[in-house]
Amino acid sequence: MAPNLLQPPRGTHDLIGEDFARHHAVIDTARRIARLYGFAEWATPIFEDTRVFGRTLGDTSDVVTKEMYTFEDRGGESVTLRPEGTAGICRALVSNGLTQGMLPRKVFYAGPMFRYERPQKGRQRQFHQIGMEVLGAAEPLSDAEVIACGWHIQRELGVDEGTVLEVNTLGDTPSREAYRAALVAYFSAHREALSPESQVRLDKNPMRILDSKEAQDRALVADAPTIFAHLTDEARAFFDAVCSYLTGFGVPFRINPRIVRGLDYYSHTAFEFVTERLGAQGTVMAGGRYNGLVESMGGPPTPAVGWAAGIERLAMLLEASGRTPAPPRAVAVIPVGDAAEGAALEVLQALRSAGIVAEIAYKGNLKRRMERANRIAARYAVILGDAELTEGRAQLRDLDAGTQESILLAELPARLS
RNA sequence: GCGGCCAUAGCUCAGUUGGCAGAGCGUCGGCUUGUGGUGCCGGAUGUCACGGGUUCGAGCCCCGUUGGUCGCCCCA
């Protein structure tokens, strides 16, 4: 590697070749399945007024306090590269007056997100997410449908093996307050036994102790009270309905009362698809219900539910399962001698118009162009020599089989379709 | 933000107690001027990540920086 070579900024990476093929396959598949479920795709700006995130993600979350790319633009406005997708979608719903229109709205999105974090496997500073939201639906069927669609996408990608859907409820506000008090009481009684990190959490965000990775915490967490004893009747009925709809959709899941949400706007349903195959960054897809977010964005009270998934993590699973999609194989059109070039261009365009991937090497004799055809993994070569051309024919060579035949140019597109 | 490990050719990596910079793959050319892939022959490519220090001498030892990686934190 040459010295002083420009490198991509820390925590970013170039998507080239098979990396991009996997990345693209994730988005394409998600987009296609989302459409089957009736979701429409939105694209919102990758930077927003800083208040879009500051107000909604919760003032205490690390994402807001330490990890946002925030700066003043030339007009003195504070803008932020989006650290997640949901806030922008909700802002767009409000900005465009869609809270007044037909609800619910089912939205799919894909694109880059930015967080100033220490990079490691499955965690970059510029990363990419797909996500979906059902805006304006309070019914548990919408929670289940959104989860079912996420599960369907993973199954379609072939990355569902080894991944488990874990579901929990965070309850409604009364449930949550009662549970929070019970948790604080329980952990306070065992304060000395907690890890130093969790002692801090006890004061700041006690629910977070539940997903601590510290061995000494886990024993305590195992015996900690769960939210189920503190759910209101409504919250319990809601959760039971979600679970029953999931079963109805055929989605396998297990209840995990330790699931907590990082961002503050969630209530009721919380879920994660987790895998052991990605090391510490094992969450593949995560989401839940956020009934207060649209209102905090200045809109009317609008219940909503959704999820986001890391494209890089899904792409790593694709790679690990050997499912990198292969690009379509081209037909290499090869003129022999200058006189055949005109005919070659006509053949190229005829093939392309028929939807067939066709390429021509920009230079070289027959041998060079055959080598080139091989390097680009072409499936066929169409060899145009003067002798055959006078009869309107060419040689069609099957590069896998090594066989060759004479064919009428007019029959080429149909033959190769 | 914290801790561990790592950085040698385009890629994967060797490099002995500190003593001439290496291999495989890839790439380029030839064997073969109307036929690729597998074969044979040959060539090119490095400020050993960057900066400093120790030493007669540093890819190797020491310090710093940058980047990667694993874990913590956080989170998709």
Mark residues 101-120 of chain A whose C-beta is closer than 7 A to nucleic acid strand B.
Answer: 115, 117-120
> Do A314 and A380 have their domain in common?
no
The parent domain of residue A350 ranges over 331-416
- Evaluate whether A19 touches A315 at the Cβ level (below 8 Å): yes
Residue owning tokens 């009934």: A291
pLDDT for the residue A55:
64
Contacts of A222 (CB under 8 A, 6+ apart): none
Per the domain annotation, does A218 fall within a domain?
no
Mind listing the pLDDT tens digit for each residue in A274-310? 987 777 778 899 999 998 889 888 899 999 999 999 9
pLDDT for the residue A331:
95
More confident residue, A263 or A322: A322
The protein residue nearest nucleotide B74, judged by CA to C1', is A62
Mind listing the pLDDT tens digit for each residue in A347-375? 999 999 999 999 998 888 888 899 989 98
Among the candidates A320, A343, A361, a domain finishes at: A320
CA distance A406 to A386: 13
> Do A150 and A45 have their domain in common?
yes
**Highest mean pLDDT (candidates A40-54, A187-201, A213-227):** A40-54
Residue A5 has pLDDT above 80, yes or no: no
CA distance A264 to A288: 11
Per the domain annotation, does A129 fall within a domain?
yes
Q: Which nucleotides of B are covered by protein (CB under 7 A)?
A: 1-3, 8-11, 27, 32-37, 46-47, 49-51, 66-76
In angstroms, how far is B26 C1' from A238 CA? 59
Mind listing the pLDDT tens digit for each residue in A87-145? 999 999 999 999 988 999 999 999 999 998 888 888 889 999 999 999 999 999 999 99
Confidence of residue A220 (pLDDT cuts 50, 70, 90): confident
Per the domain annotation, does A293 fall within a domain?
yes
Per the domain annotation, does A247 fall within a domain?
yes
> Do A254 and A131 have their domain in common?
yes
Amino acid letter, residue A296: S
The whole-chain average pLDDT of chain A stands at 89
- Evaluate whether A404 touches A343 at the Cβ level (below 8 Å): no
The protein residue nearest nucleotide B11, judged by CA to C1', is A1
A394 nearest nucleotide via C1' and CA: B34
Among the candidates A291, A320, A349, a domain finishes at: A320
> Do A31 and A130 have their domain in common?
yes
Among the candidates A297, A320, A343, a domain finishes at: A320
In angstroms, how far is B53 C1' from A123 CA? 36
> Do A335 and A315 have their domain in common?
no
Confidence of residue A61 (pLDDT cuts 50, 70, 90): low
Mind listing the pLDDT tens digit for each residue in A9-18? 888 888 888 8
| A404 is near strand B: CB distance < 7 Å | yes
CATH number at residue A382: 3.40.50.800
Per the domain annotation, does A160 fall within a domain?
yes
Mark residues 213-232 of chain A whose C-beta is closer than 7 A to nucleic acid strand B.
Answer: 213-214
Cα dihedral A170/A172/A176/A179 (nearest 10)? -80
Per the domain annotation, does A201 fall within a domain?
no
pLDDT for the residue A3:
39
> Do A281 and A379 have their domain in common?
no
More confident residue, A162 or A237: A237
pLDDT for the residue A13:
85
Average pLDDT of A333-342?
A: 88
A374 nearest nucleotide via C1' and CA: B36
Confidence of residue A2 (pLDDT cuts 50, 70, 90): very low
In angstroms, how far is B54 C1' from A6 CA? 31
Per the domain annotation, does A294 fall within a domain?
yes
> Do A168 and A266 have their domain in common?
yes
CATH number at residue A280: 3.30.930.10
Cα dihedral A190/A193/A197/A199 (nearest 10)? 30
Residue A263 has pLDDT above 80, yes or no: no
| A391 is near strand B: CB distance < 7 Å | no
Per the domain annotation, does A262 fall within a domain?
yes
- Number of domains observed in the structure of chain A: 2
> Do A251 and A339 have their domain in common?
no
Residue A4 has pLDDT above 70, yes or no: no
Q: How many CB atoms lie within 10 A of CB A59?
A: 9
More confident residue, A42 or A13: A42
Of A141-150, A175-184, A309-318, least confident by mean pLDDT is: A175-184
> Do A263 and A389 have their domain in common?
no
In angstroms, how far is B32 C1' from A15 CA? 39
Mind listing the pLDDT tens digit for each residue in A371-410? 989 988 899 999 999 888 999 999 999 998 889 999 999 9
Mark residues 289-318 of chain A whose C-beta is closer than 7 A to nucleic acid strand B.
Answer: 308-310, 312-313
Of A27-36, A125-134, A242-251, A356-365, least confident by mean pLDDT is: A356-365
> Do A297 and A340 have their domain in common?
no
pLDDT for the residue A218:
82
Confidence of residue A59 (pLDDT cuts 50, 70, 90): low
Amino acid letter, residue A2: A
In angstroms, how far is B14 C1' from A18 CA? 28
A387 nearest nucleotide via C1' and CA: B34
> Do A287 and A376 have their domain in common?
no
Q: Look up the ipTM and state it.
A: 0.83
> Do A159 and A48 have their domain in common?
yes
